[in-house]
Every structure is written in C-alpha cells, then in structure tokens.
Amino acid sequence: MSDTQYWLMKSEPDVFDIDDLKAVDQEPWDSIRNYEARNFMRDDMKVGDKVLFYYSNVRPPRIVGTMEVASEPYPDPTQFDPESDYFDEKSSEEDPTWQLVDVKFVQKFDNPVTRNAIKEEASLQDMVLLNRFRLSITPVTEQEWKKIHEMAGAELK
C-alpha cells in the first residue's frame, strides 16, 4: 500500500511546455494566484507525488506527460518582484501569500490524452478536471492515473 498522491497541473504551452521542463529538468511551478490551487501545493503535496502535465487554452486541450513534486512548499518569488506580472503588493517576505513547489520531469507521452478522450471515457467521468472548470491544480485518483497511462500507451513511472 503506497501513500503516493496524484495530481493534475495546467499550463499554457505558449508560456511553459513539457519540453521546457525536460530541458531544465526541475522548475518552480510559479504564478499560481488561486487559493484553492495554492492550498494543494502548500498543504497537501509531498515530495515524490505524481503529476499529470496538462495543456490548457490550446487546441486540443490535453495531457502530454508527467512530472513529480520535487520540493517542499516555499514562497513564490514572483510575488515579491515588482517587474513580474504576478507581483502582489499585498504580500510580504515576512508573511508571503503565495507558495509553490518545484516539479521535476518524468516522461513525455508519445500519445497525449485529449480532454475529449477523457470526456468519452466512462471510467474518467469523475475526474476533478472535468468537474471544476478553471481550477488549475486538481487531485487525481490512482485509478485515473493508471487509466490515463493506458490511454497514452505509456509505462507507469
């Protein structure tokens, strides 16, 4: 019995795609400005948790590979940077509002799994992805994790 947890995290590939992650290997998942998504990173994620990498705001929206949580939570540096689009003047180094985790590349799928394919798969109807529009980090069950890999023709890693 493993205590590994599974997640899905959205990125717009124009901003950051899975090849960018593969190139750097590990990267802070910054710029999250939604409390529910932040709470998942701050309160629930553990080093070694498995994460589906999802492309949003692109056609077709799809899961393109996987990564894993690679750090404890820590303050998102972009919130302190006045030059950043994600600067938050109400946050402070003493009491930071936004926390993130690092993620590490695991694998890129040869056959990405589209949102449409997920919608058509009976066993994936309860995926939080389908039921919580606009939430950019969502939990995934072990069964969903395995089914997505099966649909991608990918090894479980």
Partner DNA sequence: GCCAACGTTGGC
Given the rule CB under 7 A, which of 31-39, 63-71, 97-105, 149-157 is the region that contacts DNA?
A: 31-39
133 near DNA, judged by CB under 7 A: yes
**Least gap, CB of 34 to DNA (angstroms):** 6
Give 48-84 as a DSSP string. T-EEEEEE-SSSS-EEEEEEEE-S--EE-GGGG-TTS
The encoded tokens of residue 133 equal 């529009």
Shortest reach from residue 117's CB to DNA, in Å: 11
Please work out, in degrees rounded to the nearest 5, the angle formed at the alpha carbon of residue 138 by the alpha carbons of 29 and 5: 85
| Binding residue (CB under 7 A) for DNA from 58, 81, 92, 153 | 58
Q: What is the dihedral of CA 106, 110, 111, 112, to 10 degrees?
A: 40
Give the total of residues touching DNA (CB under 7 A): 18
Residue 32 burial class via C-beta count within 10 angstroms: exposed 0-12, middle 13-18, buried 19 and up: buried
All residues at 6 or more sequence positions from 119 whose CB lies less than 8 Å from its CB, including other chains = 130
Minimum CB–partner distance for residue 150 and DNA (Å)? 21
Tell me if 61 contacts DNA by CB under 7 A. Answer: yes
Check residue 1 for interaction with DNA (CB under 7 A): no
87 binds DNA, rule: CB under 7 A: no
What are residue 9's DSSP bridge partners?
53, 137
Among 20, 92, 132, 150, binds DNA (CB under 7 A): 132
Candidates 13-21, 41-49, 54-62, 144-152; binding stretch for DNA (CB under 7 A): 54-62
Positions in the binding site for DNA (CB under 7 A): 10, 12, 33-35, 56-59, 61, 115-116, 119, 132-136
